[in-house]
Amino acid sequence: MEPQNVREIRALIVRHKRWDKMFAIVGLIAMLVGVMTLFALFLDLAIDGLPRLSWDFFTSFPSRRAGQAGILSAWVGTTLVMLVTALTAVPLGIAAGIYLEEYAPRNWVTDLIEINVSNLAGVPSIVYGLLALGLFVYALDFGQSILSAGLTLALLILPVVIVATREAIRAVPGVIREAAYALGATKWQTVADHVLPYSTGGILTGVIIGLARAIGETAPVITIGALTFIAFLPPAPLKAEAPFLSFDWLFAPFTVMPIQMFNWLSRPEAAFLTNAAAAGVVIIVMTLAMNAFAIWLRYRYRKRIKW
């Protein structure tokens, strides 16, 4: 015969374990809802679109005949726009994050900037489109070009990159910095040799979330004047004669994948819907490829961390 209090404690443990199990089930269901929805959507797209995916689909321009229409101008446009976006948003965002976290004095101005950066992440994308239309397209006279679109999307994802950078930097233990300072390192040496390498993983995650958002954006890109039908490519970045590099492509007219997809979806012929599904598969694969690249990078950086 056990004493009363032992029995009570046993009952308590059983009750708490029950809660544990229940939460595990709830969590599993929550995860499955997300994953299965994504999987079902992708499967649905793939079933409709896969038969259409052929070499020709990637190397053909849009056409009125669904069977001959392709995504050449769209995927080239998306790739170039994303390149401009990444080259602008990543260095700017990381630099801003480092400054706010490591250099900025703690006062109300910094607080104000921090609050604003977080708020900017929630501004609807069309607002960025309107801002960019006035700033990049007209005021700076970049025109309705790849450069304007890339910079617009860079603005759009900048807050995400900044916030992620700061979170990642904050996760680096303070002792690391103190150790560096103790050995006579300057602030910049500490940041460049220790803080940044250790936080690269977290920063890359933020960059990918940002770029994945940018690749699917339609509204701001349409606002600044992306086209729907374009059957030629931007000028090549490499030339046969000196100086071998050309930046004319930055100012070329363009279209992007989501616009092409949306246009096909609104067509009356059912064959265009197949094209839209195929284009959808390509966008998802492009996003997944970007993710895979980031995971690989993160893995390489993780390996070097010795603490």
Residues that bind other proteins (CB under 8 A): 61-64, 87-88, 91, 95, 141-145, 147, 192, 196, 222, 225-232, 235, 245, 247-248, 250-253, 263, 265-270, 273
In the complex, the smallest distance separating the C-beta of residue 227 from other proteins, rounded to whole angstroms, is: 5
Between 229 and 299, name the residue whose CB sits nearer to other proteins: 229
| Tokens standing for residue 134 | 């006035």
CB of 229 to other proteins, least distance (A): 4
Between residues 78 and 145, which has the closer beta carbon with respect to other proteins?
145
259 vs 286, beta carbon nearer other proteins: 259
Question: In the complex, what is the shortest distance from the CB of residue 63 to other proteins, in angstroms, rounded to a whole number?
Answer: 6
CB of 259 to other proteins, least distance (A): 9
Q: How far is the CB of 88 from other proteins (least distance, A)?
A: 8
Nearer of residues 8 and 56 to other proteins, judged by Cβ: 56
Alpha-carbon distance of 295 to 289, in angstroms, equals 10
- Tell the smallest beta-carbon distance from residue 196 to other proteins (Å): 6
Give CA–CA dist 50/47, Å, rounded: 6
Q: Which is nearer to other proteins, 42 or 251 (CB)?
A: 251
Q: Residue 237 or residue 287: which is nearer to other proteins going by CB?
A: 237
Q: Which is nearer to other proteins, 125 or 263 (CB)?
A: 263
Where do we find the tokens 């229940």? 22
| C-beta separation of 165 from 203 below 8 A | yes
**Nearest-approach distance from CB 191 to other proteins, in angstroms:** 9
Helix (H, G, I), strand (E, B) or coil at 245: strand
- For residue 198, the number of C-alpha atoms closer than 13 Å in the C-beta half-sphere is 20
In angstroms, the CA 97 to CA 165 distance is: 5
Q: How far apart are CB 16 and other proteins at their closest, in Å?
A: 49
Q: What long-range pairs does 279-285 form, CB within 8 A, spacing at least 24?
A: 279/49, 279/71, 279/74, 280/45, 280/49, 281/42, 281/45, 281/46, 281/49, 281/50, 281/53, 282/53, 282/58, 282/71, 282/75, 282/257, 283/78, 283/215, 283/216, 283/257, 283/258, 284/42, 284/45
Is 133:176 a contact under the CB 8 Å cutoff?
no
DSSP classification of residue 140: S
Q: For residues 80 and 249, what is the distance between their CA atoms, to the nearest angstrom? A: 9
Q: Is the CB of 240 or the CB of 245 nearer to other proteins?
A: 245
* Cβ atoms 57, 274 nearer than 8 A: no
